[in-house]
Amino acid sequence: MNIYNTLTKRLEEFKPIEPDKVSMYVCGPTVYNLIHIGNARPMIIFDTFRRYMTYRGYDVNYVSNFTDVDDKIIKAANEEGVDSKEISERYIKECKKDMEGLNVMPATTHPKATEEIDGMIDMIKTLIDKGHAYVADDGTVYYRTTSFKDYGKLSHKNIEDLEGGHRDIKVTGSEGKEDMLDFVLWKPKKEGEPYWESPWCEGRPGWHIECSVMSKRYLGDTIDIHAGGEDLIFPHHENEIAQSEAANGVPFAHYWMHNAFLNIDNKKMSKSLGNFFTVRDIAAKYELQVLRFFMLSAHYRSPLNFSDSLMESAKAGLSRIRNCVSDLDFRASKAEKKELSDSERGTLEKALALKEKFIAAMDDDLNTADAISVIFELVKLANTEADEGSSYGFIMQMKDAVVELSDVLGLIVEEAKEDLDNEIEALIEERQQARKNRDFARADEIRDELLKKGIVLKDTREGVKWERV
């Protein structure tokens, strides 16, 4: 597989540290509100990456954090007059609900910043001991960026660019920083804020240190892949590299993957600009699987503009796959179990070639847009080749191929039996009601609708019974 590596600005062949294993860390959301669909983009993209690697036989150790101590969380807590833990726990729960709707698998580990404070203090101590960090008069601990010669290597900026040519001017005074690029590792508490004891002052960590610590704890000093949205390249990921490599003395991550923004009217969707939809807003209008399909319909490194019309085409695209699967199911229920014909064998070979094409697209830096086109080709092949005379084995193999590839993308295209049963029961109930109201046209319509799903109704003495044909 080739992955575009932000660190080298090149497509590189993926070579894992340990054979058949992938260790991967994805920066997760700050939990002070419901997540918006911009936040959902990295979740869906990197979940798809994980699913694909798993499909290719890798054992993926996937870690994604929740940032549960932060100015915005504290502000939200103060506004509501509750503890900041109440805010973060509430929104972690809500975020997990959204993830479930989007069919984003839970991470192997979902660490929370507030549960990793000891590890952060240890790493900060190491950085101070090695001369990479210093304590200001008020107890703030800063990272000394001048001590890390590779600072800027991920964002491909040199120090002069980053500082606008003012590196030699020392910033002193209120902040107590030696240099304007130095960033906070630990800061003193303020009134009404959560705090922890530390060797420097009662206070709380800066934002960047948590990811260095959690990545080390759950995945080791050097990991295969670190990922997140492109806004994290600088300063967040640059600072994570500076912290981890200075503390551990080895490279932090071999591959850095970044998704482009989800935009609205060509501007980044963000809470601060106020131009966002929450995942919950979208769920009120669409099934969340449509949102997942929409996100996958573009390459992850291309900006994606959110619009109703694109959501409508995503909806139509998903239905096309689902209709194909339910048609194949219906045909299979009527088909004869017989030897495969030569032409059926030929079609299955074409399907196999399409599967290879799908894999080639995904191997090409996770080209989900092309992968979806390949699923459509497969759907077209199934729709034209599976007919009344087709054998059961052929139809089922075509169906399995469509479901298998959709599954790799985390797209649910086959209704779970239970959901289907509930839907059938509801339709039967509606039909009974229609008959009571002497609306026989609607009652017949429902009977036909059920028949299309392969369900026949039988009026019995105990009421209406149904069975699959």
Summarize as ranges the residues that interact with ligand AMP (CB under 6 A). 27, 29-30, 38-39, 41-42, 228-229, 231-232, 259, 261-262, 268-270
For the chain, give the secondary structure using H, E and C.
CEEEECCCCEEEECCCCCCCEEEEEECCCECCCCCEHHHHHHHHHHHHHHHHHHHCCCEEEEEECEECCCHHHHHHHHHHCCCHHHHHHHHHHHHHHHHHHCCCCCCCECCEHHHCHHHHHHHHHHHHHCCCEEECCCCCEEECHHHCCCCCCCCCCCHHHHHCCCCCCCCCCCCCCCCCCCEEEEEECCCCCCCECCCCCCEEECCCHHHHHHHHHHHCCCEEEEEEEHHHHHHHHHHHHHHHHHHHCCCCEEEEEEECCEEECCEECCCCCCCCCEHHHHHCCCCHHHHHHHHHCCCCCCCEECCHHHHHHHHHHHHHHHHHHHHHHHHHHHCECCCCCHHHHHHHHHHHHHHHHHHHHHHECCCHHHHHHHHHHHHHHHHHHCCCCCEHHHHHHHHHHHHHHHHHCCCCCCCCHHHHHHHHHHHHHHHHHHHHCCCHHHHHHHHHHHHHCCEEEEEECCEEEEEEC
Closest contact distance (angstroms) between CB of 32 and ligand AMP is: 9
Complex with ligand AMP: residue 189 or 271, whichever CB lies closer: 271
Closest contact distance (angstroms) between CB of 241 and ligand AMP is: 16
Interacting residue with Zn ion among 3, 7, 27, 227 (CB under 5 A):
27
Closest contact distance (angstroms) between CB of 226 and Zn ion is: 8
Cβ(294)–Cβ(44) under 8 Å?
Answer: no
Binding partner at 268 among Zn ion, ligand AMP, none, C-beta below 5 to 8 Å by kind: ligand AMP
Binding partner at 278 among ligand AMP, Zn ion, none, C-beta below 5 to 8 Å by kind: none
Closest contact distance (angstroms) between CB of 31 and ligand AMP is: 8
Cβ(213)–Cβ(123) under 8 Å?
Answer: yes
Cβ(337)–Cβ(391) under 8 Å?
Answer: yes
Binding partner at 29 among Zn ion, ligand AMP, none, C-beta below 5 to 8 Å by kind: ligand AMP
Binding partner at 269 among Zn ion, ligand AMP, none, C-beta below 5 to 8 Å by kind: ligand AMP
Q: Does 37 bind Zn ion (CB under 5 A)?
A: no
Closest contact distance (angstroms) between CB of 418 and ligand AMP is: 33
Closest contact distance (angstroms) between CB of 380 and Zn ion is: 42
Binding partner at 211 among ligand AMP, Zn ion, none, C-beta below 5 to 8 Å by kind: Zn ion
Closest among 118, 216, 133 to 178, alpha carbons compared: 133
Complex with ligand AMP: residue 16 or 303, whichever CB lies closer: 303
Kindly state the number of chain residues that form the binding site for Zn ion, as judged by CB under 5 A. Answer: 2
Cβ(53)–Cβ(202) under 8 Å?
Answer: no
Complex with ligand AMP: residue 126 or 275, whichever CB lies closer: 275
Q: Does 366 bind Zn ion (CB under 5 A)?
A: no
Q: Does 247 bind Zn ion (CB under 5 A)?
A: no
Closest contact distance (angstroms) between CB of 368 and ligand AMP is: 15
Complex with ligand AMP: residue 31 or 359, whichever CB lies closer: 31
Binding partner at 270 among ligand AMP, Zn ion, none, C-beta below 5 to 8 Å by kind: ligand AMP
Name which of residues 192 to 211 contact Zn ion (CB under 5 A): 211
Q: Could you tell me how many residues make up the chain? A: 469
Name which of residues 268 to 287 contact Zn ion (CB under 5 A): none
Q: How far apart are CA 152 and CA 233, in angstroms?
A: 10
Place of tokens 């805010």: 87
Closest contact distance (angstroms) between CB of 125 and ligand AMP is: 26
Q: How far apart are CA 329 and CA 137, in angstroms?
A: 71
Q: CB nearest ligand AMP: which residue?
A: 229
Closest contact distance (angstroms) between CB of 46 and ligand AMP is: 9
Name which of residues 165 to 194 contact Zn ion (CB under 5 A): none
Complex with ligand AMP: residue 126 or 263, whichever CB lies closer: 263
Binding partner at 38 among ligand AMP, Zn ion, none, C-beta below 5 to 8 Å by kind: ligand AMP
Closest contact distance (angstroms) between CB of 293 and ligand AMP is: 17
Q: Does 107 bind Zn ion (CB under 5 A)?
A: no
Closest contact distance (angstroms) between CB of 240 and Zn ion is: 6
Complex with Zn ion: residue 3 or 27, whichever CB lies closer: 27
Chain mean position to CA 213 = 22
Place of tokens 């994604």: 64
Structure tokens at 120: 């952060």
Binding partner at 254 among ligand AMP, Zn ion, none, C-beta below 5 to 8 Å by kind: none
Binding partner at 313 among Zn ion, ligand AMP, none, C-beta below 5 to 8 Å by kind: none
Q: Does 117 bind Zn ion (CB under 5 A)?
A: no
Q: What character string, x for contact with Zn ion (CB under 5 A) and - otherwise, covers 208-227? A: ---x----------------
Enumerate binding residues for Zn ion (CB under 5 A).
Answer: 27, 211
